[in-house]
Amino acid sequence: MFKQIIDYLSGKKIAILGFGMEGKSTYNFIRKYSDMPLTIIDKNNVYETNKELLSSDNKLNYIFGDDYLHKLDGFDLIIKSPGVITKDIDTTNIPFTSQLELLLMVNREYVIGITATKGKSTTTSLTSAVLKANGIDAKLVGNIGVPIFDEIESMNEDTYMVVEMSSSQLEFVTYSPHIAAILNLYEDHLDHCGTIEHYHANKLQIFKHQTNSDYAIYCSDIEPLNSYIDDSYQGIKYRVQFNDQNIDSRTTYIKNNQVYLNGKPLFNTDTELHLLGEHNLRNIMVVLTISEIMHLDLNKTIEAIKNFKPLEHRIELVGTYNDIIYYNDSIATIPNATISAIKALKDVDTLIFGGMDRGIDYQPLIDFLDTGIVRNLICMPTTGYKIGKEIKNLNVFKYNVETLEEAVSKAREITSKNKICLLSPAAASYEYFKNFEEKGRAYKNLVKNI
């Protein structure tokens, strides 16, 4: 199958746009099978930082500099990395493709694609675990941190690719996966997409190119997602919702603590799980729907769900130190995610939050925290200060700190014994950390060492 991709690229004038993790993966994949001329395009001079990889390649050209996005003419295909932001240029006539697009072009029948603002990593990982529990060869790839081309060579004719799909990966695709799911759509990534409408439109690309023999799964009791789904999407639609209103044979719903689909009981919601919270129950319902569509063994599916543990940085138990229970939820980069984490844990005494201000609406979090549900708020720059000033409840104690080390030290001082201290930023981490992973690991190290 991967040879079809090489054949498709052969004879074309190809550029790789963006030379981060996925760009390097694309380069290595092509070079393993072809010495075709290539051009690497990046804002930074990536040759200097990748000499060992690139110096012996005499079939390479380079375009570097701040104006790199204005030098995309003259190529038959530009294999774009998802981290490259193109919102400020006219992309109408630029021949973008991507690892995701090329995979879907040659083998979309064996692709399960999952996207969302929040929950997609957990749900793709859980889907992969369920498939493997049912004896199916499955590869977990995409925005989860594993480039598609790193695994594509190991696929055989029965291998499923379970792909976490970001808005950036979906933006320019002209194919959709055979089984696709959208978990939710909230306000996020305005720094990449410009507007919430553009961001949501990118996400909906996962359904846009499906046929009437494909499957489109979405959470119908979440807005605005539900309002976007209409007859223009051709996939067979499966709805996932908590209530049992207006159900049909393709609705997965809850009634009397039982998850049903087409009259069949699938799962008891009182089952003891490692995954906490209503948001994770919804993710589980999506995975159960995929399992039923694929006619998997329900008992094996449920066993895999029961055994599945949260991914790192997602309501992750760090441990109990000095009688304080610490959780790391650094993946929570929007207000809704932080609210969901607090609701899931139910016993949060101290919240550490704040990060880069990307211009999204923080009022839902302000209103939620103003109820006094969390007694101690440790506010970090920049958004933590901004939100903290709006909390008027006199029973809520607010502390402004400048660093994560100060935050953890203050948490140890003020958190009640046998209560929870939760890191859940409700904002991006880019001002002081490379990403949410770096922030989460720094937090865990501080908790264990202070």
CB neighbours (10 Å) of residue 422? 27
Model pLDDT, residue 311: 94
Model pLDDT, residue 157: 86
If DSSP codes are grouped into helix, strand and coil, which group holds residue 221? coil
Tell me, yes or no, if the two domains 2-97 and 316-449 fold the same way.
no
316-449, superfamily in CATH?
A: Mur ligase, C-terminal domain (3.90.190.20)
Nearest to 192 by CA among 183, 184, 200, 180: 200
Model pLDDT, residue 160: 98
- Please list the rounded mean pLDDT of every run of 10 residues in the chain (450 residues): 92 97 97 97 97 96 97 97 91 96 97 96 98 98 96 93 96 97 83 78 97 98 95 97 96 98 97 96 98 98 97 96 97 95 96 94 97 98 97 97 98 98 95 93 95
Within 13 A of 10's CA, how many CA atoms are on the CB side? 9
Model pLDDT, residue 158: 93
Strands (E), 233-374: 236-240, 251-255, 258-261, 264-268, 316-321, 324-328, 348-353
Model pLDDT, residue 415: 98
Model pLDDT, residue 191: 60
Please state the pTM of the whole predicted model.
0.91
Model pLDDT, residue 193: 63
Pull the structure tokens for residue 390. Answer: 């709006």
Q: State the alpha helices, DSSP H only, in 209-334.
A: 225-228, 278-293, 298-307
Q: State the pairing for strand pair 215-219/236-240.
A: parallel
Domain boundaries, the chain: 2-97, 100-307, 316-449
CA angle 42, 15, 25 (to 5 degrees): 75
Q: What is the CATH number of domain 100-307?
A: 3.40.1190.10
Q: What is the CATH number of domain 2-97?
A: 3.40.50.720
Of all helices (H) and strands (E), which one includes residue 41?
strand 38-42
Model pLDDT, residue 362: 95
